Each structure stands twice: as C-alpha cells, then as structure tokens.
A and B are shown apart, each in its own frame.
Chain A
Amino acid sequence: MPSPAPALAPADVADVTATDSALRRFLHGLPGVDAVGLEGRAATLATRSIKTTAKAFAIDLAISMIDLTTLEGADTPGKVRSLCAKGVSPDPTDRTVPSVAAICVYSDLAGVAAEAVRGTGVQVASVATAFPAGRAARSVKLADTAEAVAAGATEIDMVIDRGAFLAGRYLEVFDEIRAVREACGDAHLKVILENGELATYDNIRRASWLAMLAGAHFIKTSTGKVAVNATPANTLLMLEAVRDFRDATGRQVGVKPAGGIRTAKDALRYLVLVNETAGDDWLAPAWFRFGASSLLNDLLMQRQKLTTGVYSGPDYVTVD
C-alpha cells in the first residue's frame, strides 16, 4: 500500500519548526478541510447502531475513558474528594463497573485529588497555564504547571495561546507548548486547542499538528468554557490528525473531546468516530478520553438498564 502520508523524520520535524516562516509553510501546506464533507462524514457515522454486546462493551470502555471533571470557582476540597470516590468506584452497587481514567481539577486542588485517589490507578489531571483563557505571562503559566505537578498531578491540561495562533505567531505557540511540556516532567501533557475560538476547521487541523510537533501527549478539543466545545466533526478532524501524525512520524498521540458530551448515546458516537477513523489502537484510555462530568451518570444508568432490563432513573446513581 502506498504511504497515506509523507514521512516526517525527527530531523524534518526540527527543520519545519526551526523558524516561524518554516513552521507557517508547513502548517499551511497541510491539506485543507471541506466543512460540508467533514460534517457529513461525522453525521453518517452518527447513524451507526450500537446494540446489545457492542453497547455493553462501549459503555464500559467509555466509563474507563472519562476524565471526571469539576472546574468551578465554587470547588472545595470536600467536593473534589467525593468526586474522587465516585471516579474510583462509579457505582457503589456494582463493583464490576470500571474506574474512570482520571479526575480533572484546578491546580490548587490537585493535591487533594492526588491524596484521594492514591493507589487506585486513577490519574490526577490538573488544568494549568491560566486555564481557561490562557491570558497570563509565560512565567505564570510555567509556575502553575510546575506547582500542579508538584502537588501530585500526573496529567496536565494546558491551553494554547489562541491570540498568538490567530495572529499567525505559530512559533510562539509552539515554544510555549514545548516549555510547558518541559515543566511537566513525567506528567502527561494534554494540549487544549479551544476549537470554538479557532473557528475554522483548517485552523483546528493546523493547531493539532502544531501541538503534536511540540510534543503533546494528547490534543484536546476545548475547555468547556466557551460556546462551542467538542463536536463530532471537530473531534473527527483531530482523530484524522493523530492518525496522519503517527503515519508520518511513528509517534502516537491521544485525543480528548471535552465539553457538552452528556449522554451515553453521544459517547458511543464518539467511540464510533475513533473506531472508524483512527482505529483500534486508539480505543483505550491511554489514547482517548472524554472530558466530562454528567456523562458518567448517564453511562451508569444505561449500564443498569442493559444489565437489569429496567431503567431505574437518576435517584439510583450518586450525584457526585
């Protein structure tokens, strides 16, 4: 089979990221995205019918991929601790339910979360870099990152500087991602593109490649704090990007849609996108995550319905 994407060796990566103009030429040389076609493909895949055994498999997989999230000004240590308890053991009546992948909190509560999930295998993800706007000095962003890691965060969800990106200062965005990745140490880095502010699919594809070239372990759709967050189409586009990036460089990068995914039906549709775009290799919590909070309860209710045959309603799952 001919190569689906031109190869990009490490030396080539160094070349295309050496200067602002080289990086611009590379990013603008990526194939364009036809919006109608992309959204049409996402809509077609949304018609897949996932039933019975496939549904049971997908529900458990989706639960295990959740970054169970609370990102509110009103968050307290108590709230975070109860969220951790829920993440470790989502259904107190059924111990066969898998744990979620991670608990996602603001950096000042990363320590509380780390304490609460210690020894369970559940990761602590902390947003950092002046989340969600990202409007702070780089020194502040790096300090934010370093403190979150020091407090026990094993995953960092950073935001890119959308202003710099939209102004075409790609190398500045690239350098910042690199610097944050450095500050992460061993923690995994998820790079939030904030698709809703990038506005065009061409921008989303370019930002995806920019983040991957800069060393992102994951690319993430959005903060959940703007009007447009994860959509099937922009997630499909990012799945194409990670697929093509691995073809070109051999390095696999994960994808995390976040914001607005609230129902099991939605989650299953995202898994179909993963399955039919990036493929099996991405169908694991190490490579695909859902940034979500209320999604978990809907998955649990659907799981109960599937195992018991009756839909028991929201009083039979815990509120947090």
Chain B
Amino acid sequence: MKFEYAPAPESRATAEIAPSYGLFVDGGFREAADGRTFKTVSPSTEEVLSEVAHGGEADVDAAVAAARAAFPGWSALPGAERAKYLFRIARLVQERARELAVLETLDNGKPIRETRDTDLPLVAAHFFYYAGWADKLPHAGLGPNPRPLGVAGQIIPWNFPLLMLAWKVAPALATGNTVVLKPAETTPLTALRFAEICRQAGLPAGVVNVVTGDGTTGAALAAHPGLDKVAFTGSTSVGRAIARSLAGTGRRLTLELGGKAANIVFDDAPLDQAVEGIVNGIFFNQGHVCCAGSRLLVQESVADELLGRLKRRLGTLRLGDPLDKNTDIGAINSPEQLARIRQLADTGDAEGATRWTAPCDLPSTGYWFPPTLFTGVTQAHRIAREEIFGPVLSVLTFRTPDEAVAKANNTPYGLSAGVWTEKGSRILWMAQRLRAGVVWSNTFNRFDPTSPFGGYQESGYGREGGRHGLEPYLDV
C-alpha cells in the first residue's frame, strides 16, 4: 500500500518579518548612511522577504567605533557578569527557537527539520558552553591572565547563518571582546533577529553590532584599521584576499574555509549506518557544508553493494517546501550558487564520470538541485578536487588502507574526514594519518560546542569550539 505523507507545513506566523530592517549599531537599529538597501528573498519561492539596509564604509566605521567605545566597559566586567548575559542570550534563543528556526528556513531555504533539530539546539548550546567559560579563563590553560583582544570583525557565510554567528559571537563575548558582525548577503534576517535578542537580554550597547550588506561591506569590515581581530568563515578565495589585506597589520586572523572531505568506507563497515552517514555527509543542508563528505572513497570489494543501498536510500529523500516538517532536502540558497553547482556537475559529465540523479520532482519556482552522485570519478576529475558546495557526491574506490589515506589526503584542503569500519584499531590508524581538522568515525557531520573545529592547509587556520576556541580571542 502507498503511504503518502500529507503536507505538514510549519506555520510562518511565529516568525513575523518586517518590510524593512536597519543596521544594528550601538544598541539601536538605523538606516545605512547612504540610504542603500538590498532585498533578501526566500530561495524556495523567490518571494522577497524584506528589504535590508546595505552597510557601507561609513556604517562600518560607526559600528567599529561603537564596539571600540563599548570595549572598556565590557572587558572590565567580571567574567561571571559577562556569563550572565550569555546565559540569558542562550535561554532567549531557546525560548524563541521556533521563531528563529522558521525565519532561518525562510531566508536560507534549508528544511525546518534541520533548523529545528540541528541549527537552533546547537546555537543555544554554544552560548551556554561559552557562558560557562567566561569566569574560568585563567584556568583554560592559556596562561594565568589572558586578556581580550579588543574589537573583533566577524564575517559569516549563508549556509548556517545563526549557527556561524553563535560560533563567532559566543567565544568573543565570553572572552571580553566586542564585535562587529557581517552576515551573508543572502541570509541577513536571523542575525538581525539575534540583535533584537541582544537588546532583550539587556546587553550593553555596542558590544554586538550587526552590519548587513554584500561582499563590499565585508571587505570594508575585514580591512578596517580599527579592528584587533578578524574571523572569517567562507570561501578559500575570499579568505586569501582577507589574509592579504591583513598581512603586516598585526591584526589577528582566523579563517575557516572550504573543504573536499573524504568519507572512507571499508568493507567491514556497518553498511546501513554508513549509507546514513554518507547521506548525512553530503545531502545534509543541501551539501552547503564546508566539511561536507563530498568525496566518497569506498573499498572496491563492497562498492557495488554500498552503491546499491545508497541509491535506494536516496530514492526516499523528500525534496520540497523547506517549511514542511517532512522535507529532507530544501532549496539551494541562491541562483549564483545553483549556477555554480550546475556548472561543476556538467564538468563531471564532460570529464567522463557517470551521473546518477535521485528520482524526484523539482518545484517550478525557487532554486533547486536534485541529490546527485557521480561514479567512475578519479582523482584527476575536477569534481573530485573542487568544492561544489551542493548536493553532489563524487564516488571513488580504493583497494587498501594506504591507498585510502593517499587519496583522502590528496587535496589542497583538509577540514574533515570520515572513516567507516567496525575495526577500532583501523579507525585509530586512519585518524593518525588523515590530514584533516576533524575525523569522524562511524558518523559524519556531528557537531558539539565542546569539540574544536577547524582545518589544515587551504581549509584555513584557527579553531572554533571547545577550549581551543577561546585562544583566537585572547592575548595570552
């Protein structure tokens, strides 16, 4: 019998969206100095959600000045007092979790199941976790009297707007810094809602400032001489440009950039769970994940069986309305990103890999790309080397553990890797040899505020999360 799930949409009513939003500077909302605005759209319907102020250089100046003015007071507060604000923010995030989840889903296109069950719980957990550190900094193993740096400029991507905000803002505030945050152009709404939460929590004016805008706004912030620290998450090319502009200035920089992670499945792996891990690795958040397991390395002896199981599983993925509680795959965040995914996938065809697409209907409006995998991929293919940042999996095979390590490490990136085997000693053997900031064993894309996250080589430097995540914001 056919069991069809009726539509189960989450109500939009919990997340009211104003027709326009200003910049959040010095505790208040204001228009951009030159009055410019830009539109933010829902990627699943192309509906314009709101008009948002487009911050320019003057606005960045004002925000940095506000953060500078707030710094002496904020950094002088006892850690326990700063912790109170962070705990309050964490609780408010929990209280308003449904509203934030709906807003994130509307602005980003990712399924409500993920914003509700992954993004928002992690956002709150990060604030709770770093709140706990605020009064224990002398005991973090970073010296007896670590001092805050000053004003941090933080530039975050569109793939996990609120979660990346939490990764950046929570440790910065816990350590006594003040921040100017620049959310991504396509997903500004939850950062602005977070600014409201800061006000609701009574956070002193200027401690958190949010300047919305496009890449030029981000460039103005990154290069601003009034900063002591820049933290960026995004593409490797932009990260390089920021590193260049900061070279020689003495300002501190952490970068969390791209990846082309290998998800390595041995023939003794728990196959059904490995299939889930592969799906979670590359189709979670439409593959818009810097640590996505975009390269599947599967041992030849089990490749056919695993691929058969994987394809059958991909046939059950539910693509569609991101607000529907049963949707697994949402919309691609922007037309630009969709074009890039299409172009790289076409390269896969052109270079001789075999494309397979999960059977599913794509909605007629919005930006969509079906779950796709390529077999017959080799290390020499572009789709095995370049970050696609979309729901496209490249499947390669290997014969021996040494070959798996060699192929997995044969990339300019090094953010994450996954190992699937029932043999504990092999997991340890692999983890010692894989050049990646995170190695997951028998799981993938699991995050926790207590665990440091960051990359090797072109995946960036610095760590976010855990005790390690305090260090980039402290003078030790």
Contacts and interface: CB of A to CB of B under 8 A. Distances in A.
Given A1-B308, A2-B305, A48 B5 contact: yes
B326 A49 contact: yes
A40 B443 CA distance: 10
Given A36-B442, A37-B277, A41-B276, A271 B271 contact: no
B422 A32 contact: yes
Interface residues of A, number: 35
Given A31-B271, A37-B443, A5 B1 contact: no
A58 B3 contact: yes
Contacts of A47: 113, 117, 325
Nearest to A271: B3
Contact of A41 (B273, B305, B309, B312): B273
A275 interface: yes
Given A1-B308, A47-B325, A51-B6, A33 B273 contact: yes
A178 to B, nearest CB: 28
B304 A240 contact: no
Nearest to A33: B270
B3 A37 contact: no
B4 interface: yes
Contacts of A4: 305, 308-309, 312
Nearest to B308: A4
Most buried by B among A34, A41, A272, A280: A34
Interface in A1-31: 1-6, 31
A49 B8 contact: yes
Contacts of A48: 5, 325-326
Contact of A31 (B269, B277, B304, B442): B269
Most buried by A among B3, B271, B303: B3
B307 interface: yes
A49 B325 contact: yes
Contacts, number: 91
Contacts of A240: 272
A53 B6 contact: yes
A58 B309 CA distance: 27
Given A31-B269, A37-B442, A40-B276, A276 B304 contact: no
B2 A280 contact: yes
B39 interface: no
A54 B443 contact: no
Nearest to B277: A37
Most buried by B among A4, A36, A272: A4
A283 B3 contact: yes
A32 B426 CA distance: 15
A163 B44 CA distance: 56
A5 B275 CA distance: 14
A61 B1 CA distance: 9
Interface string B435-468: 0000000110000000000000000000000000
Interface of B: 1-8, 113, 117, 268-273, 276-277, 303-305, 307-309, 311-312, 316, 325-326, 422, 442-443
16 contacts: A1-B312, A4-B305, A4-B312, A5-B305, A31-B272, A33-B273, A37-B272, A37-B273, A41-B272, A47-B113, A49-B325, A50-B5, A52-B6, A57-B3, A240-B272, A276-B316
Given A38-B272, A47-B325, 17 more contacts: A1-B311, A2-B304, A2-B305, A2-B307, A5-B305, A36-B273, A37-B270, A37-B443, A38-B273, A48-B326, A49-B5, A50-B6, A51-B6, A53-B6, A276-B316, A283-B1, A284-B1
